[in-house]
Amino acid sequence: MNWFRLNLLYCVFFFLNIAQGQQVAVVLSGGGAKAFSHIGVLMALEENDIPIDYVVGNSMGALIGALYASGYSPVEIQAMLTDPAFISLNKLNDERKVRFYQHKEPNASFASFPFYIQNGLRFDIPFKRYDLQYVDFKMMSAFATATAAANYQFDSLMVPFRCVAADIDSSNLVVFRDGNLAKAVRASMTFPLFIRPVEIKGKMLFDGGMYNNFPVDITFEEFNPDFIIGSKAVRNFSKANPDDLVSLLQNMLMQKANYTIDSAVGFLIETTCGDEGIFHFSRIQEYIDSGYVAATRMMPELKKRLPHSHSKASKAELRQKFTAKKPNAYVNKVKFLGVNDAQQQYFQQILGLKKQPGFNLETIDHLFVKLHRNENVKSVYPSLIYYPHSKGNELELEINLADPLAVDIGGYISSSGVNEGYVGLDYMRLGKTAKHFSASANFGTFYNSVAGSARIEFPAKTPLIIQAHFSTSRKNYFSNARYFFEDQFPAYILLDENYFELAGIVPAKQNGLFTLGFSNLNLNFRYYQDNYFSRNDTSDVSNFYFATPFIEYEYETLNRKQFASRGRYLLMGLNTYFGTEHTIPGSKSEGSMEVKRDLNFYSLVVRYQQYWKIASLVNMGISFDLDVSNKPVLSNYVSSLLLSSPFEPLEIMKTKFLESYRAPSSGGFGLITIFELNRQFELRINGYLYVPYQKIILADNGRTPLLSEPFSHHNVAASTQLVYHPPIGVISASVNYLDQQGQKFGFLLNLGYLLFNKSRFYR
C-alpha cells in the first residue's frame, strides 16, 4: 500500500513538472559592443516562446540581462541601447568638455598632470578612460523604478537576476543578489584601465570578466535551473603580443573564460562578431542582427530540448504586471555626497534646487549634464532611492571633486624652425563660490608669452563670472627664417602685445557666453622698412596705448582645439579703442618725422566655423571671417600693416608676416573637406578666399601707404594635410599654397599644437 502511494506521488510530481515546464536560465557573457548580440538572441528566444526563468550576466551582458529582468522587452532594449544618448562612450582626455563659461582658452598643452602638496609633492599620471558618467545616469533612470518595485531584491524582479564583478583587493568574484541594480551592473561593466571603477560597500569593483566572463557555475549555484541557454559573444583574448601594450594588459588582467556548457544540462548559442576589438560601438546594430541570426539558426535543435514553451501572451502579461508595480520616478529631494556644506550650497545654487520643490527625470537629465560638465567635478555617480512610506524618491549624487592643482605640459616642433614649449599651472578652490587661478608660459624661437588669470564664479541657475586676465607676449618674425615663402618684405619685425582686462561673463545656455569688459592695452612694434640694415642701425618703433571697452558673444562645440572635424564655433565682438600713437623713426628712415597723436577707432569681428558629416567617412566644414574697422592708415607702410587684422586660417600663416593677407577691413571664406582614413588618421583639403575691402598699398614714391579701391584685390590660400591624432598631441604634414610674391608652395611637418595666448587686439 505504501509502495503504491509513493509511486502515485512520484507520478503526480512528474506530470506536474512536465506541465510546468523546465526551469530555464539564460547566461549572457561579457564582450563590450559585441555583447549587443545578446539582444538579438533574446529576440529570437521570445519570438519562439522559449521560457526564460532566470538571467545571469557579466559586463555588457549584465546590462542587457538586467534590462530584460526589469521588464523591458528585447525590442525596447534595442531601442534604448542603440540610442546614442544612452551608450555615449566618450574618451576622457585633455579636451574634456566643461561648461563653456568655465573652459580654458585653447593652449598648446597635450597632457595635464594633477599634483598634491599636502604630504609632499606627488603627481598623478593620467591615462585614457572611457567616460560612462552619462551612461550611469541613463542606467539609473532605466533601473530605479524596477529596483524599487522589487524592494531592492533581485529575486523579485520580473525575472530573477544575478550579475558578477571582481573585487581586486581580495581577488574574489562578487555576486550581486540585492541592492542598487544600476550600480551592480555598472560594477560588472567596469573594464579595467578603460573605465573608472565604482565602489560598493567599501570595495573597489571591476568587470567580472577578470575572473569569470561566462558565469555558468554561478547560475547553478544561485538558481539550480533544469536547463541553461548560454549566449557567447566573444572568444578569449588571443595570445599576448609582446609589442602591444593593450594585448599584454588584457592577458594579464583577464582570466581565460570557460565557454563550454555540458550538453546534458544546457545549450550554447555562439555569435560570430568578427575579429575587431570590443569597443566598436558604431557596429552594434550588426552585432544585434548577428545574434538574432545565430539564435534562429539553432532554434530547431533548441526546441527539441525544450518542448514546453511559454506563450507570448503569458510573457506580455508578466511584463505588464511587473511594470504596473513600478512607482513613479519623481524626485522630492536631492542629497549631495562627498562635499562639505559650503560646496553643497554651491551645487544647489547652480542647479537651482532651492527654488524648485521636485523634479521629473527629464529635468534631472538636464541638471545631471550641467553637474557633470562643471569643472569642479571629476566624476558624479547618481542613485535614485525610493521611500515607500512617502512614495517619493531621493536623488543621491556622489561627487568626486576635481583635483585642485594641475600642471599642463605641451609644445610645438616643426620643420619650419618654429619650436615652442608650453607650461601651465591651474589652481581651483571650491566653497560657496568657485575660484580658478591660472598661469602659463610660452617660450620658443617665434613666440614668447607669460599670462595669468583669476576667475570667481557666483553660483546661480544663470551664474555671474568676474574674470581678470593679463598677458604679455612677443612674436619675433625675424627669428622665423623664411624657409618656404621667400619675398622682399622686411624680415625684421617684432610685435609685442601687453594687456590687462577685467570682464563680467554671463553664460548663454550650455555652450555660449556673453562677455562685457574693459582692457588696458599696449602694442609695441619694432621693424625696418626693408631688409637693408646692419647691426649698427636702429629700427623704427611704434608704440600704442589704448583703453578698450568690448562686448563679445562666443559659442563653441568643436570636438578638438585644433584640426576640428565636428561641431561649431562662433565669435562676434565689438571692440572700441581710445588711445595714442607714438612712432619714432629709426636710422634707416631718413626724412621721416616722429609722430605723436591720438588714435581712436572701432573693430567689429565675426569668426565662424562649422563641420558636419556628409558621408560615413567624409566630413565637410566651412569657415567665415569678417573684420570691419575704421583703423586709419599710419605714417608708414609696415606699421599700417601691423595695425591691420591678419587672416591666418592655416598653421603656416600663423608664423609668417604676410602682407597679402592683412587689411583694416576684410572678409574670408573657407571650405574644408575631411576624409577620415581611420580613427586616428584624416586627410584634410582646405581652400580659402581672402578679400580685403581696401588693401594697403604703397604710393608711387615707394614709401607712403595708401588704400586701394574697394574690392580691387583678392587672394587665395590652400593646403592638403595628413593629420594623425595619437593618444597625446597631434602630428601633421601638409603641402601649402599661398598667393603672394616669391615661392608660393611649401611643405610643413609639425608635432604638437600651434596655439598662442588669446590676443585682445587681434581677435
At 585-628, the pLDDT tens digits run: 998 887 788 999 999 999 999 999 999 999 989 999 999 999 99
Say if residue 173's pLDDT is above 70. yes
What would the mean pLDDT of 732-751 be, rounded to a whole number? 91
Q: What is the pLDDT of residue 34?
A: 86
Structural domain contains residue 100? no
Q: What is the pLDDT of residue 123?
A: 56
Q: What is the pLDDT of residue 69?
A: 96
What would the mean pLDDT of 425-439 be, rounded to a whole number? 95
Say if residue 249's pLDDT is above 70. no
Q: Given 325, 340, 358, which residue is the final one in a domain?
A: 325
510-513 long-range contacts (CB < 8 A, ≥24 apart) are 510/99, 510/100, 510/369, 510/370, 510/373, 511/100, 511/555, 511/556, 511/557, 512/100, 512/553, 512/554, 512/555, 512/556, 513/100, 513/101, 513/553, 513/554, 513/555
Count: domains in the chain: 3
Same domain, 584 and 708: yes
Same domain, 358 and 321: no
Structural domain contains residue 117? no
For all residues of the chain together, what is the average pLDDT? 86
Same domain, 393 and 411: no
What would the mean pLDDT of 413-438 be, rounded to a whole number? 94
Per-residue buried b or exposed e for 648-667, using 16+ beta carbons within 10 Å of the residue's own CB:
bbbbbbbbbbbbbbbbbbbb
Q: What is the pLDDT of residue 276?
A: 56
Residue 763 confidence class, pLDDT cut points 50, 70, 90: confident
Residue 311 confidence class, pLDDT cut points 50, 70, 90: low
Q: Given 325, 341, 370, which residue is the final one in a domain?
A: 325
What would the mean pLDDT of 59-82 be, rounded to a whole number? 93
Residue 92 confidence class, pLDDT cut points 50, 70, 90: very low
Same domain, 409 and 397: no
Say if residue 342's pLDDT is above 70. yes
Say if residue 671's pLDDT is above 90. yes
* Choice between 453 and 302, residue whose per-residue pLDDT is larger: 453
Structural domain contains residue 108? no
Same domain, 438 and 378: no
Least confident window among 341-345, 433-437, 475-479, 575-579: 475-479
Same domain, 428 and 563: yes
* Choice between 354 and 121, residue whose per-residue pLDDT is larger: 354
Interval 506-557: pLDDT, tens: 999 888 999 999 999 999 999 988 777 788 888 999 999 999 999 999 999 9
Q: What is the pLDDT of residue 178?
A: 95
The enclosing domain of 278 has a CATH number of 3.40.1090.10
Q: What is the pLDDT of residue 483?
A: 36
Say if residue 437's pLDDT is above 90. yes
Q: Which of 663, 43, 655 is nearest to 292 (CA)?
A: 43
Q: What is the pLDDT of residue 310?
A: 58
Same domain, 317 and 337: no
Backbone angles phi, psi at 725, to 5 degrees: -110, 90
Structural domain contains residue 147? no
Q: What is the pLDDT of residue 198?
A: 86
Q: What is the pLDDT of residue 465?
A: 96
Structural domain contains residue 211? yes
Q: What CA–CA distance (Å, rounded) separates 341 from 692? A: 57
pTM of the model: 0.84
Same domain, 448 and 545: yes
Same domain, 386 and 422: no
Same domain, 339 and 478: no
Least confident window among 141-145, 303-307, 322-326, 511-515: 303-307
Q: Given 304, 325, 346, which residue is the final one in a domain?
A: 325
Residue 102 confidence class, pLDDT cut points 50, 70, 90: confident
Structural domain boundaries enclosing 382? 331-401
Q: What is the pLDDT of residue 12?
A: 39
Structural domain contains residue 97? no
- Gyration radius (Cα) of the chain, Å: 33
Reading the block at residue 678, the C-alpha cell is: 581611420
The enclosing domain of 344 has a CATH number of 3.10.20.310
Same domain, 499 and 371: no
Fill in the DSSP letter of residue 121. -
